[in-house]
Amino acid sequence: MENEPSELHFEKKRLETTIALAKKQIHEAKYKNEENKSAIIAAKQELRENTVHSISNLSSSEGFEALAELSQYTNPITEKVMDYEKIEKKIATLEKLIKSPYFARIDFKFDDEDEFEKVYIGRSSLIEDDSYEIIVYDWRSPIASVFYRFALGKAYYDAPSGRITGEVNLKREYEIVNGELKYFYDAEVQIVDEFLKKLLSQNTSNQMKAIVETIQKEQDLVIRDMENELMMVQGVAGSGKTSVALHRAAYLMYQGLSNTLSSNNIMIISPNSLFEQYISSVLPELGEDNVASAVFEEMLSEILQNEHIQPRSEFLESIISSSKYGALIKSSMEFKMSPEFLEILNSFISDLAYQWIEFEDVYYKNKCIVKKEILRDKISGRKETPIGMKLEQLEEYILDLISESKKKPLGKLEVFHIKNDIQRFTKLNIKNLYRKFINNKEYFYHIAKDIELHDDIEEILRFTAENLNIPYLCYDDAAVLAYLHLKIYGSREYINIKQVVIDEAQDYYPLHYEIFHLLFKHSKFTILGDINQTLEKKEDLSLYEQIQKILDKKKASLITMNKSFRCTNEILNYSSKFIDHDLEIKSFNRDGEEPKVYTSDDASSFNHKIISEVQLCLEEGYETIGLICKTAQNADLLYESLKDKTNLKLIKSGDVVDLHGVNIIPVYMSKGLEFDAVLICDADSKNYQSEDDKKLLYIACTRALHRLNLFCRGEASPLL
């Protein structure tokens, strides 16, 4: 569609002046930073020349004055360096801005005014230095929400001062590339969907992208929510949960400017490092480059002070690959992560002082200083203080008693020896205690007497006891030990975190949420998941009630997102047969080819079919191609049989990879990722049969944007 000439002229001019202003600001900022640089060099020189004396005096009796004198020189340098870094960040933002200063405009008339104001919206704001006039509004500013939430007509937005009402009479979108206006169009001609359709038909990139230009209303409601302490999203595959999570983090950062939230106050928790890597470019793209991020199993390892933990991928592999112990590992995991086992663990913790810690009378120079009964009594009260802390305090108490009895302070060496001695009962070895507890069946059944236990509880206890003797911790036992550790010693690790974002919520069990609760007691949470994308577990909507209960948040909300932006209609329809039929999934009305199932009886024709399909995908111009297998074992075999025939990458747990090209990947590693074309490479009846397998197929099929085909060696799975 041609743009009207006078409007086009106006917009071109407006773009020119915006870019000119940004360039001017870059120039000024660079000049300012040259000055800053010289000032920092001069100040450092002055510091070197004038503080030799103070540095040499630091450890003498004049140390305090020396330190004061030193800081007189260092403080201004720190300030200058901070100023320098702030300006460098501004320059980087402006340099991005001149390439594409804005993507939308709304014309908004405030109710108490007569004129419509042109509000240009971009990825970051641009403000005229002297007049403070806002030339471009940041997409996160309150007024920008009108663009995402309203059609033409009456509209409103919530500003810090309250609700502002008005009217919109124009919604315009721009395509600006490298500072050049390619085209623009107005929303009244219903073209917004066309723009999004065009965007979604493109190839996916190696890493996740920002979506600020096309955020949908229901997504915007989640991104900007500031009301709830716990915001939960149940969204179908491809509905934008991860995108929303990341844009919300960027929004919270922006909000933080006005209420003291800073980057190290937000934490994004990822299920594995491949996913963490995949999403890592979105926030920098949005101008926010240092939100804290963590992988759950790394957090466990930190809590357990680097105890060697079985990787989650290996744990999943052993369940999914139907290994000899697959069923037992699964039911052991289910039991140990359940609210029932949690109750048992809590009773165990309450009993620690009475039944598990072997207190001893304390002697000093053959004189009894304190009896064990007194020590036990000392730590029995104050339920709110973790027992580990009370034991640390007990050490101090004992040292004081000894020093009183000796009538003089204890020397360092003496303290060391006494502590060494009493730590037999003041320092707990949690793994040993847990091992003893699991092995003491009489005690276990006694505290579990009112609790409904799994039928195979005997097997679970035996299996767990055996596993606690191997040199590393199984993934499920690591979570149990982390919970015990946090309950016994408390945690101050993440005390500064005020907002936690958890993606792939369905993969965590109740005990994991208990751990999140203990780690982030005073934080707000954003939790996004899909009950249909579980790995070897069954979930329904009650998951979200359970999360709310565990995290103990009063102000909570659950939003459902049923529209998938990733897959074509055909891929989505095909994938829907693997999930509950009551669930309504809408697609973003994009057409493609019907997925097909290919079967082969022998290895060579099977390999040939896959290679031909890969070739075809490459010829069609697809850039990321995923060959998805049920297990890592299947992925390995496929890789070995194809590696000499075409260029392939095998993705294993925790790998750092570039998803461009042809990738072989187990389904559980592909969660959260997407590919232009997907080939399910082991869709036969041997691999996919059960209800759990259906979910794996759903996850695998919904990784595809444009093309999906399934390949079987031998009989096709009855689930297809």
Radius of gyration of the chain (CA): 31
DSSP 318-377: HHHTT-TTHHHHHHHHHHHTSHHHHHHHHHHHHHIIIII-----EEETTEEEE-HHHHHH
626 binds ligand ATP (CB under 6 A): no
Is 716 marked as binding a ligand?
Answer: no
Q: CB under 6 A: which stretch of 194-202, 443-451, 594-602, 622-630 binds ligand ATP?
A: 194-202
Q: CB under 6 A: which stretch of 78-86, 236-244, 308-316, 642-650 binds ligand ATP?
A: 236-244
Contact with ligand ATP (CB under 6 A): which of 51, 93, 125, 243?
243
Contact with ligand ATP (CB under 6 A): which of 54, 239, 318, 631?
239
672 binds ligand ATP (CB under 6 A): yes
Tell me which residue has tokens 């065009």. 198
- Which pair of structure tokens corresponds to residue 136? 């471009």
- What part of residues 161-180 is at the interface with ligand ATP (CB under 6 A)? none
CB of 574 to ligand ATP, least distance (A): 15
Residue 106 or residue 481: which is nearer to ligand ATP going by CB? 106
Torsion angle of alpha carbons 345, 349, 351, 353, nearest 10°?
A: 160
Q: CB under 6 A: which stretch of 210-218, 256-264, 337-345, 474-482 binds ligand ATP?
A: 210-218
216 binds ligand ATP (CB under 6 A): yes
Please tell me the count of residues contacting ligand ATP according to CB under 6 A.
25
Contact with ligand ATP (CB under 6 A): which of 80, 171, 224, 241?
241
Contact with ligand ATP (CB under 6 A): which of 219, 467, 499, 548?
219
**What's 227's DSSP letter?**
S
Q: DSSP H helical segments within 520-620, as ranges?
A: 542-551, 569-576, 603-619
DSSP strands (E only) in 374-503: 499-502
674 binds ligand ATP (CB under 6 A): yes
CB of 533 to ligand ATP, least distance (A): 6
Residue 545 to residue 539: CA distance in whole angstroms: 12
277 binds ligand ATP (CB under 6 A): no
Is 237 marked as binding a ligand?
Answer: yes
The β-bridge partners of 117 are 108
CB of 380 to ligand ATP, least distance (A): 48
Residue 100 or residue 239: which is nearer to ligand ATP going by CB? 239
Angle between helices 632-642 and 312-320 (to 10 degrees): 90
**What's 383's DSSP letter?**
T
- What part of residues 500-559 is at the interface with ligand ATP (CB under 6 A)? 530, 533
Is 490 marked as binding a ligand?
Answer: no
313 binds ligand ATP (CB under 6 A): no
- Which pair of structure tokens corresponds to residue 426? 């003041």
- What part of residues 557-586 is at the interface with ligand ATP (CB under 6 A)? 565-566
36 binds ligand ATP (CB under 6 A): no
Residue 611 to residue 100: CA distance in whole angstroms: 41
122 binds ligand ATP (CB under 6 A): no
DSSP helix/strand/coil, 231: strand
Is 236 marked as binding a ligand?
Answer: yes
Residue 539 to residue 532: CA distance in whole angstroms: 7
Residue 241 or residue 390: which is nearer to ligand ATP going by CB? 241
270 binds ligand ATP (CB under 6 A): no
Residue 292: Cβ-neighbour burial (10 angstroms; 0-12, 13-18, 19+) = middle
Residue 528: Cβ-neighbour burial (10 angstroms; 0-12, 13-18, 19+) = buried
Q: Which residue is nearest to ligand ATP (CB)?
A: 240
Residue 36 or residue 216: which is nearer to ligand ATP going by CB? 216
Site string for ligand ATP, 676-705 (x = CB under 6 A): --------------------------x---
Is 239 marked as binding a ligand?
Answer: yes
Residue 496 to residue 493: CA distance in whole angstroms: 8
Residue 262 to residue 196: CA distance in whole angstroms: 32
Torsion angle of alpha carbons 251, 252, 255, 259, nearest 10°?
A: -170
Residue 124 or residue 204: which is nearer to ligand ATP going by CB? 204
The torsion region of residue 244 among left (phi > 0), alpha (psi -120 to 50) and beta comes to: alpha
Phi, psi values for residue 180, rounded to 5°: -115, 130
CB of 543 to ligand ATP, least distance (A): 14
Is 621 marked as binding a ligand?
Answer: no
Q: CB under 6 A: which stretch of 42-50, 232-240, 420-428, 617-625 binds ligand ATP?
A: 232-240
Q: CB under 6 A: which stretch of 132-140, 196-204, 354-362, 621-629 binds ligand ATP?
A: 196-204
149 binds ligand ATP (CB under 6 A): no
| Alpha carbon separation from 79 to 39, 47, 74, 132, 263 (Å, rounded) | 11, 14, 9, 25, 19
- Residues tagged in the binding site annotation: 235-242
Q: Can you give the binding site for ligand ATP, defined by CB under 6 A?
A: 196, 199-200, 204, 209, 211, 214-216, 219, 235, 237-243, 530, 533, 565-566, 672, 674, 702
- Residues tagged in the binding site annotation for ATP: 235-242
